[in-house]
Amino acid sequence: MTSRDLRRVLVGVVAALLVPLLVIPASTAQPSARQADADRYHNPLKPRVPGDGTVDSCADPAVIRGQEKGDKWWYMYCTTDPLNDGDTAGDGENTFHPIPMMRSRDLVNWTYRGDAIPEPPSYAAEGAGIWAPDVVYSKAFDRYYLTFVVTNTEPPVGTPGCNGDSAIGVATSKNPMGPWKVSDTPVVPPRKDPNSTDPCAFFWTYDPDVLGNSIGANGILYYGSYYGGVYGTKVSLTRRSMHMTGAPTPIAIPNRYEGTNVIKRAGRYYMFASATNCCNGSLTGYSVYAGRSQSPLGPFRDRDGNTFLESRVGGTPVISMNGNRWVGTGHNSVFRDFDGQWWTIYHAADRFDPYFEDEPGFTKRPALLDPLDWKNGWPTVRANRWASDKRMPAPAAQPGERTAYEPNWLPNHQPGAKRERFSDEFNDGRLGDRWSWVRKPAESEYGEENGAFRFDTQNKDLTEDSNSASVLVRNAPERNYVVQTKVHFNVPPDYSEHNYVQAGVALYGGDDRFLKLVHVSIWETRQTEFAKEIPSGFDGTSAYGNTVVGPPADWTYLRIVKQNRPGQDEFTAYTRQPGERWVRGGTWRHDLGDNARIGLVSMGGQEGTQEFRARFDYVRVFGLR
């Protein structure tokens, strides 16, 4: 997300999916019976397509249990995509299913039951995508309300000649499997960026979520995405539609979150929100973060008190990649089973099988299920272990059932003894002989001063097709270790844009083979990015992927834990603000080669922009307990 082409990349993802939708009739086959071993499950969920395989991509899953008396089914809805490799056709036209619907009695065995929106809304432009569903039941009207994204609209709702003026639509039904009656007017129309002179600059009006599963005649709707941020608003229902009744309230700063899901627990509202690129194959770092509030309209704060609205944007990690096969764990739906255990269903990418077979570069996102645990009032998936790839106890999906799941908490990594040979306190006035430069900068751009290493930012970069930045490097231990630094970075904590200035620590195996953990300016936000680059992606060029960890501060602590593993090693990121606890982030798998070194970077500025300065208090390397 910190490449200069963030919006170009994400818009490219949008454009790639704006293809004509094929109308698929709903299946009339009955769902499979509860299997004898349904008290266990194994990710991914693979809903059965009667007579035609399984649903192998179920992005942005939304889950609800039947709300009417006597309904014992659970229902799941996914974004528009091919269901499996059989729906892709290489050079031909792919089969896209507009909001696939599934149902299950046990939350383990699902059956595909057809598509919710075979005919798009009247205001949808030709080829518009129908994405990111959410479903809520109204007791007042005895109806289900399906909200969704329309990625491009036409007059009178849309703007002539513009592409990407997205909106939130709604459909209603007496039955959670439809048929759905689509409203002729959107709930949230396209929203023009008031600060842009481009007549086609519209905020991303994506990812609706209505608070609760069952409401009356009024509710709270959340929507939005990176470009424009996330908002919440009051809505009222009619028998055929949904309407905004309150002014939109900013919930999250632009360029950080999307795919929100809000629940109420123990008198507080918890927002689950996803960050970074959803669809980057095996390099997808999409992850879920949480904030909580006393009010459904915020402000939402993370565990350390940082809000979702400030430049140094808050968010406590709930799930990220953990080193197994699953990456891109995001856009989740949260619910409780009948034993009181919380669960989440989310999509992910299999790093060993990330793309549709005939569509390299088109990320396949199967649905996964895992328990959600709580500690000191904060949620985390599978007791900090995150996505499962082995057999797990199933939920208690029906009244009277019990789940055998018990949390087994995973502690944070702990540093061992300090490795003096690989460390430097920067207190002797000059760089030691164990440091060397990759592309040495001008002498005026760096130096040891007042017990710290000064490194001015360069208008250069280290990413894919731009490898011009300097890297200060030294040898790294061969076995498990922890590398840690404390960096002061003087990018102001306001809402100014200084793309993509950054400073932090790197593990450097080469210009196209590295990891970095940096304090970075991304549009109006300040974040800590944990990025990975590999020499060859699906198209043969170098490829870059990223996730984010905790918010930075004036002084930010950065830590990478390296663990030797067969094939590719594991690298886990941690960040910390002064006086707060360490925040554990995702774990990348990477092969850095035989000559990987510890490095420091200070880079990413653009020509004509203000230069900034990083000051590293130390570089300390430890063993791992």
The alpha carbon of residue 365 and the mean position of all alpha carbons in its chain are separated, in whole angstroms, by: 12
Closest CA to 461 of 283, 602, 596, 612: 602
Which tens digit of pLDDT belongs to each residue from 516-542?
999 999 999 999 999 999 998 888 888
pLDDT higher than 50, residue 337 = yes
State mean pLDDT over 352-373.
96
Confidence (pLDDT) at 37: 58
Could you tell me the CA-to-CA distances from 218 to 166, 183, 293, 470, 548 in Å, in that order?
Answer: 24, 17, 20, 56, 35
> Quick one: 30-393 is in which CATH superfamily?
Glycosyl hydrolase domain; family 43 (2.115.10.20)
pLDDT-based confidence at residue 599 (cuts at 50, 70, 90): very high
State mean pLDDT over 8-19.
38
In sequence order, what are the residues at sequence separation of 6 or more whose Cβ sits closer than 8 angstroms to the Cβ of residue 483?
422, 476, 505, 507, 559, 560, 562, 598, 619, 620, 621
Confidence (pLDDT) at 539: 84
Token pair listed for 221: 């709707």
Which tens digit of pLDDT belongs to each residue from 222-232?
999 999 999 99
pLDDT-based confidence at residue 18 (cuts at 50, 70, 90): very low
Which tens digit of pLDDT belongs to each residue from 472-491?
999 999 999 999 999 999 99
Burial class of residue 29 in the structure, from the number of CB atoms within 10 Å of its CB (0-12 exposed, 13-18 middle, 19+ buried): middle
pLDDT higher than 50, residue 33 = no
pLDDT higher than 50, residue 34 = no
614 close to 449: Cβ distance less than 8 angstroms? no
Confidence (pLDDT) at 180: 98
The alpha carbon of residue 321 and the mean position of all alpha carbons in its chain are separated, in whole angstroms, by: 10
State mean pLDDT over 132-139.
98
State mean pLDDT over 49-76.
96
pLDDT higher than 60, residue 12 = no
3 state DSSP class of 526: strand
pLDDT-based confidence at residue 612 (cuts at 50, 70, 90): very high
pLDDT-based confidence at residue 52 (cuts at 50, 70, 90): confident
Confidence (pLDDT) at 89: 75
285 close to 295: Cβ distance less than 8 angstroms? no
Query: Can you tell me the distance from the alpha carbon of 325 to that of 349, in angstroms, rounded to the nearest whole number?
Result: 8
Could you tell me the CA-to-CA distances from 241 to 145, 217, 218 in Å, in that order?
Answer: 8, 11, 12
pLDDT-based confidence at residue 5 (cuts at 50, 70, 90): very low
> In the chain, where are the structural domains located?
30-393, 415-624
Confidence (pLDDT) at 541: 82
Confidence (pLDDT) at 178: 96
Closest CA to 505 of 453, 554, 551, 466: 453
pLDDT-based confidence at residue 70 (cuts at 50, 70, 90): very high
Q: Is the pTM of this model over 0.85?
A: yes
Which tens digit of pLDDT belongs to each residue from 569-588?
999 999 999 999 999 999 99
Q: Report the CATH number of the 415-624 domain.
A: 2.60.120.200
Confidence (pLDDT) at 38: 60
pLDDT-based confidence at residue 606 (cuts at 50, 70, 90): low
Query: Looking at the chain, how many residues does it have?
Result: 625
